[in-house]
Structure 1
Amino acid sequence: MPEHIPNESHAPGEFAGRTALVTGAGQGIGAAVATALAALGAHVVATDRDAHGIDEVAAAAHGTAGTIKARVMDVTDSAAVTAVIDDVVQAHGSLDILVNVAGILRSAPVAELTDADWADTFAVNTTGVFHASRAAASHMTARGSGCIVTVASNAAGIPRTGMAAYAASKAAATMFTKCLGLEIARSGVRCNVVAPGSTDTAMQRALWPEGRTEVPHSVIAGDLETYRTGIPLGRIASPQDIADAVLFLASDRARHITLQELYVDGGATLR
């Protein structure tokens, strides 16, 4: 369970009275985002297919300035997503923030990718963003305020061997979020993207050699054989690093920022 590390750049109670829904909140970046929003006063609905993970996240938030309510939700199920978001709006009066974090990774060379690998990856990483964003946007535009932040990946902006399905799905989610943001900007709703690089999550660790607990040298230094650049800052991100970027874009301090893509990758993509 990620421990929330207070960031002095965020004022206590900054999100007081606001309602946020976070997908993929059962672990990793999603859990960090949900925890950080609650610590700053938001009423958070933490969703995931994994009930155990979000129950732990909700329990850990007891005593914080805000609240976290766990809600099982599969982003690939359009009707279920719409029902959950409608319930949230009915219960809280509004949905102020949506953070799309739910994602999966099927890593393999293109020649070895199965049809199921491709379809499943897009179902969660792209269509899931569509389902949640469409449902949330309908309420936000009617109210005239709100923000959507999609957590994509720096892989959406640079080719990676063995990650074609993941990179393509994240690139699609990124452009979808920007197009949605353009369509609904006049309603006062902002849509932005955070693009993490290598981050210390279960998904990242699954790429390491079995039993490895320390970051492999190639992740930091790069790997010429796979055309991978290193990380200039010399470290991978923590989930909290990504959460801090999400919180900024969701805050009033970013009120004039929309259609943007913020890379949080230690300089790995040299952008």
Structure 2
Amino acid sequence: DRVERELGPLDILVNVAGILRVGPVLELSDDDWERTFAVNTRGVVNVSRAVARRMTGRASGAIVTVGSNAARTPRVHMAAYAASKAATTMFTKCLGLELARYNIRCNVVSPGSTDTPMQRALWADGRGARAVIAGSPEAFKLGIPLNRIAETEDVAAAVLFLASDQARHITMHDLCVDGGATLGA
């Protein structure tokens, strides 16, 4: 109520929050699993439901969730993150199916490796970006065919498109913005 009183009706929701805890499945702490799902999944569910309740009364709106290409492709030491993003992706698609009758579109933008503080924290040194672009067969991680790390502007452009009227006939879609890293999977 307060948000809409102060800012006006919410026509667009973009779910962007995310955390990454890495480690082997059997060694990642219960707290890391809980925190990952609390932010990456439950946060999206709670905010989306609250905003969607408002949007249904107006019979219009767009919800875009920033997921991850890790939701489509297994990653070594990233099970909690990948599983949380897979749950978030499916939730957003199911929400889109249920809200379509209210003219509310729900889509996902799934970035791959993007130049953010979270990504840079994974790099051991200044060669981190090169290593990500090249891939790592021993970690079952493909490289990036377009030969560069995404910039936040690449992801933002996809979000803006899906939130805009240009995407008025697109819902339940998962737009992967990963430079080809998942080979279109």
TM over 0.5: yes
Structure 2: how far apart are the matches of 1:200 and 1:132? 26
Equivalent residue letter for 1:99: V
Aligned to 2:172: 259
Structure 1: how far apart are the matches of 2:130 and 2:141? 12
Aligned to 1:186: 101
Helix, strand or coil: the match of 1:172? helix
Equivalent residue letter for 2:171: T
Structure 2: how far apart are the matches of 1:120 and 1:247? 28
2:138 is equivalent to residue 225 of structure 1: yes
2:10 is equivalent to residue 99 of structure 1: no
2:111 is equivalent to residue 171 of structure 1: no
2:111 pairs with one of 196, 208, 224: 196
- Does structure 1 retain, via aligned residues, the 8 Å contact 2:129–2:149? no
Count matched residues.
Answer: 184
Helix, strand or coil: the match of 1:135? helix
Q: 1:87 deviation in Å?
A: 1.5
- Does structure 1 retain, via aligned residues, the 8 Å contact 2:93–2:172? yes
Q: Which runs of 5+ in 2 are unaligned?
A: none
Aligned to 1:120: 35
Q: 1:171 deviation in Å?
A: 0.2
Structure 1: how far apart are the matches of 2:119 and 2:51? 29
Among all aligned residue pairs of Structure 1 and Structure 2, give the percentage whose two residues are the same amino acid.
67
Q: 1:93 deviation in Å?
A: 2.9
User: Quick one: higher RCO (CA 8 Å, sep 6+), 1 or 2?
Assistant: 2
Structure 1: how far apart are the matches of 2:46 and 2:95? 12
- TM-score, normalised to structure 1, is 0.67
Cα-to-partner distance string for 1:140-195 (whole Å, 9 max, x where unaligned): 01111110000000000000000000000000000000001100101010000000
Structure 2: how far apart are the matches of 1:213 and 1:148? 36
Equivalent residue letter for 1:121: T
Structure 2: how far apart are the matches of 1:152 and 1:186? 24
Q: Which runs of 5+ in 1 are unaligned?
A: 1-85
Equivalent residue letter for 1:89: E
Structure 1: how far apart are the matches of 2:122 and 2:2? 37
Q: 1:214 deviation in Å?
A: 4.7
Structure 2: how far apart are the matches of 1:230 and 1:158? 13
**What RMSD over aligned residues (CA atoms) do the two structures have, in Å?**
0.9
Aligned to 1:246: 159
Equivalent residue letter for 2:140: Y
2:149 pairs with one of 213, 216, 236: 236
Q: 1:218 deviation in Å?
A: 2.2
Equivalent residue letter for 2:51: A
- TM-score, normalised to structure 2, is 0.97
Structure 1: how far apart are the matches of 2:55 and 2:114? 31
Structure 2: how far apart are the matches of 1:200 and 1:215? 11
Matches within 5 A, 1:1-271: 86-209=1-124, 212-271=125-184
Structure 1: how far apart are the matches of 2:62 and 2:127? 36
Structure 2: how far apart are the matches of 1:231 and 1:92? 40
Q: 1:92 deviation in Å?
A: 3.0
